[in-house]
Amino acid sequence: MKKLLSVLVASVMMCTALLTGCSAGEEASEGGSASGDIMVGAIYINSQNDTAGYTYAHHNGITTAMENLGLSTTDNLKIIDNVAEDDEQVGTAIDQLAGQGCDIIFGISFGYINAFAEAAEEYPDIVFCHATGYLNNDTNFNNYFGRIYQARYLAGIAAGYKSLELGNNNLGYVSAWGTEYAETCSGINAFTLGALSVNPDAVVHVNQISTWGDQELERQAAEVLISTYNCCVVAQHCDSAQPQIVANEQGVFGCGYNSDMAADAPDAHLTAPVWNWDVFYQLAIETAMNGEAADFYTNIGGNYYGGLSEGMVDISPLTDNNAPEAAEAIAIARDLMVSGEWDVFSGTALVFSGEAGSVSVEQVATDLVTNDGEVIVAAGGPSVDDGVIQGSMNYYVAGVIAEA
Amino acid sequence: MKSFHLIRRSDVTLKQKVLLYILGIVISFVIGGIFLASLGINPIIYYRDMITIGLIGNRYPAKCVEGFLKLFVPLIITSVALSLSFKMRFWNIGGEGEFITGAIFAALVAFKLGPVLPTTAVIPLMGIAAALAAGVIGFITAHLKVKFNTNETLVTLMVNYIMLYVIKYIGETKAEWNFFLRDDSERPVFAKFPESAMMPGIKIGDFTLLASVIIAILITVGVYYYIKTTKHGFEVSVVGDSTNTAKYAGMSVYKITVRTIFISAALIGLAGAFTAASSGTISTDITNNVGWTGVIVAWLSKLSTPAIALVSVLISVLQYGCQVASASYPSIDHNFADLMQGIFLFSILAADFFGNFKIVKTGGKNDA
């Protein structure tokens, strides 16, 4: 027992010595870094150490933006991860980040919305940005998202040409959710319209897995699309690359999502709609650095919905698996969207024709119709894109078949 | 060949036991420190932030304490309530389900009566509804156990999942009847309670002391005296030791079991109502795993109420402190906080083990 005691006393003494010694040194360095620089806070739904998926994409965006701005991602960034969509837990995380001196706080998950709206009132000196939501105030709180549907449309063109080449009109789509989330159904609709612009007989079979990410379910859903519905291209809106890997195994083609999945499915991958979150994060951090929190909403121009023209969304480089006409048609559609001349959910449809080297497009006034036959936009009418981003889209367009 | 035997030791004094626990904690700090150092993080600064729950250099220290208390209140109530049923050897691991039940019923009252009644009426009604609803769940499991000899571990465990899916269903179903959700959102998301259904508190400068904190302490003291000094408390331990003894002494095992489990579940339901009222809404993650953590706290404390109070504080410091401390290091995520907790629990259990047993080497007799 005596021996035990002495070990104990020794270790406690050692700890106290280190503790007092170190805290003195630490204070000095804290004072140095706090002056002038901005402190960025982030609340993640998963972990910053993820190697793929939604949180990874955001973390990558924030760190890239900070590096571009010459900020340190160790000293100027504070992260609280694995925060569930629970107001109390999100509120506590915001309090912690605020307490540690953050000047701007990003929340990346939809369910953080209530807590962010409240915190924005409580901390008027801190800027709050919330992804995928629909709330804001007119001072220090905005909401951000991207026009990923534009990139989906381009992927749809690639899939449409592939289906023409293979003579198989069945396209597949593994989706986390269906019409209950505008985020998912707008992606499905844009992909479908893109495919129809090339192959008017194409149909998109949607297989819904009812969770944002489950590798096993994603795999099974893709297998069903290929074996039961004879799909020749499998697109996806879910976290992992499993649907692409299955497509590769089964000798069909696919369009990934979130990041370039060509390495996962080298013989199958056509292109993937991708996010460049750093575009927004850089703008937001810069805006926060150069102005008062109270003017943030005005300075950044309100809520942020960047698309192809801002570089917020894009498609990954086309692989050699693509049909020869795809690149040209995609470039044409892309130019129309970047210039703002045309957008996906409008009363005007693009119709592509011609061989590789001489692909041409025709803009045809067409009703935007749901698969129940309801007209959303009359022929020639304006785009409904803002509704898509703010979450009001809750239908499938004609050409989509919702499977089990 | 040699083999090892465990021998129970009876020679350990309380002082030595306490020293063993402290040694266990020191060892876990050292192991954690090695991990931290291997990630290039100064363990001393990390531990300093953890133990002080990030109060040093904090812009809003009052918020820090409030956040800590929000973690602490449901944990201590749940642990105390669980210890009550464990004392009776009734393995209630349905804390999660009972907590969710309480939260749902509190929300029901908040949304329906919140707009028409004042705080002084709404908050007590939320508590009563939550306690009754969770208590009924407890009653059913106890009834099944005594009347049909069902396995309460399985029944309470299954109730957890039933209630989890009930709250998920409410949270994910956008429908006309569903007054739990925000009207203005296409995507299902829980609405905020009206102002009158928010937990009231006493303002002390920047700091707000929520009523739930005071009630949690009162509950803990109350349960302590209930177990120590009342006839009911005595009956609980008799039934726990032997139902036959209880029957022989003329006690009604049915009545005692049902009553105790009702109280245990009702208290956990109340904790659910408190959490709902202090966050002003409910969510599918509202329990924050308190039903599970509570089991650990109750056992680490050997079902002693004062020890539960102490261990609840320690676990809350660990959870809250780890989150704060990890925020500053991009290389450390939430998993590290779980890892630290695991190391602590193992070290303390090991200390407990060596306080009760010693390992002796003996010549092998059975090593054929």
Length reported for chain A: 404
Over residues B298-316, the pLDDT tens digits come to 998 989 999 999 999 999 9
Look at the block and give the residue holding tokens 């150092």: B37
Distance CA B86, CA B81 (A): 9
B269, B130 contact by CB (below 8 A): yes
- The pLDDT assigned to B354 comes to 86
Residue B285 is nearest to which of A47, A85, A93, comparing CB atoms? A85
- The pLDDT assigned to A3 comes to 53
pLDDT grade for B212, boundaries at 50, 70 and 90: very high
Taking Cα atoms as reference points, which of B72, B106, B53, B129 lies closest to residue B288? B72
Over residues B66-89, the pLDDT tens digits come to 999 999 999 999 999 999 999 999
Distance CA B150, CA B157 (A): 12
How far A72 CA lies from chain B's nearest CA (Å)?
11
- Least CA distance to A77: which residue of chain B? B328
Q: Which residues of A touch B22 (CB under 8 A)?
A: 8
Comparing A18-27, A163-172, B131-140, B230-239, which segment has the lowest mean pLDDT?
A18-27
Over residues A358-374, the pLDDT tens digits come to 999 999 999 999 999 99
- In this complex, is the C-beta atom of A113 within 8 Å of any C-beta atom belonging to chain B? yes
What is the DSSP code (8-state) at residue A370? B
Over residues B1-18, the pLDDT tens digits come to 678 888 888 778 888 888
A206, A187 contact by CB (below 8 A): no
ipTM of the complex: 0.87
pLDDT of B142 strictly over 70: yes
DSSP code per residue over A193-249: HHHHTT-TT-EEEEEE-SSS--HHHHHHHHHHHHHTT--SEEEEESSSSHHHHHHHH
pLDDT of A116 strictly over 80: yes
A223, A246 contact by CB (below 8 A): yes
Judging by beta carbons within 10 Å of its beta carbon (0-12, 13-18, 19+), is residue A11 exposed, middle or buried?
middle
How far are the Cα atoms of B295, B297, B350, B360 from residue B314, in angstroms, in the given order? 15, 10, 17, 33
* Over residues B335-360, mean pLDDT: 86
Over residues A214-273, the pLDDT tens digits come to 889 999 999 999 999 999 999 999 888 999 999 999 999 999 998 889 999 999 999 999
Judging by beta carbons within 10 Å of its beta carbon (0-12, 13-18, 19+), is residue B55 exposed, middle or buried?
middle
Residue B60 is nearest to which of A4, A48, A95, comparing CB atoms? A95
Over residues A18-73, the pLDDT tens digits come to 444 444 334 333 333 333 589 999 999 988 888 877 898 899 999 999 999 999 99
Q: Which residues of B touch A49 (CB under 8 A)?
A: 331, 333, 335
pLDDT of A284 strictly over 90: yes
Distance CA B194, CA A226 (A): 50
pLDDT of A17 strictly over 60: no
Whole-number percent of chain A with pLDDT over 70: 90
How far are the Cα atoms of A27, B147, B207, B215, B315 from residue B201, in angstroms, in the given order? 34, 44, 10, 11, 24
- When the pLDDT of each residue in chain B is averaged and rounded to a whole number, the result is 91
- The pLDDT assigned to A35 comes to 36
- The pLDDT assigned to A166 comes to 95
User: Which residues fall within 8 angstroms of residue B110, CB to CB, at 6 or more apart?
Assistant: B122, B126, B193, B194, B197, B276, B277
User: Which residues fall within 8 angstroms of residue A114, CB to CB, at 6 or more apart?
Assistant: A87, B182, B189, B190, B192, B281
CA angle B254/B258/B261 to nearest 5° reads 140
Each domain of chain B, given as residue ranges in start order, spans: 61-301
Look at the block and give the residue holding tokens 């009426």: B121
Distance CA B126, CA B279 (A): 14
- The pLDDT assigned to A257 comes to 93
- In this complex, is the C-beta atom of B45 within 8 Å of any C-beta atom belonging to chain A? yes
In the numeric block, which tokens belong to residue A367? 């009703």
Whole-number percent of chain A with pLDDT over 90: 75
Surface of B (14-43) touching A: CB under 8 A: 16, 19-20, 22-23, 26, 29-30, 42
* Over residues B239-246, mean pLDDT: 89
- In this complex, is the C-beta atom of A100 within 8 Å of any C-beta atom belonging to chain B? yes
- The pLDDT assigned to A308 comes to 95
* Over residues B136-140, mean pLDDT: 96
* Over residues B261-265, mean pLDDT: 96
Phi, psi of A318, deg, nearest 5: -65, 135
Domains present along chain A, CATH in parentheses? 37-131+277-306 (3.40.50.2300), 148-274+314-402 (3.40.50.2300)
pLDDT of A162 strictly over 50: yes
Which uninterrupted H or E stretch holds A116?
A: helix A113-122
Torsion of CA B103, B106, B112, B118, to 10 degrees: -140
- In this complex, is the C-beta atom of A85 within 8 Å of any C-beta atom belonging to chain B? yes
Alpha helix (H) residue ranges in chain B:
14-38, 43-51, 61-87, 95-113, 119-148, 152-172, 211-229, 231-241, 243-248, 253-279, 290-300, 305-327, 334-356
* Over residues A139-149, mean pLDDT: 94
Distance CA B262, CA B254 (A): 12
Surface of A (200-259) touching B: CB under 8 A: none
Over residues A292-342, the pLDDT tens digits come to 999 999 999 999 999 999 999 999 999 999 999 999 999 999 999 999 999
How far B247 CA lies from chain A's nearest CA (Å)?
46
* Inter-chain CB proximity A79 and B189 less than 8 Å: no
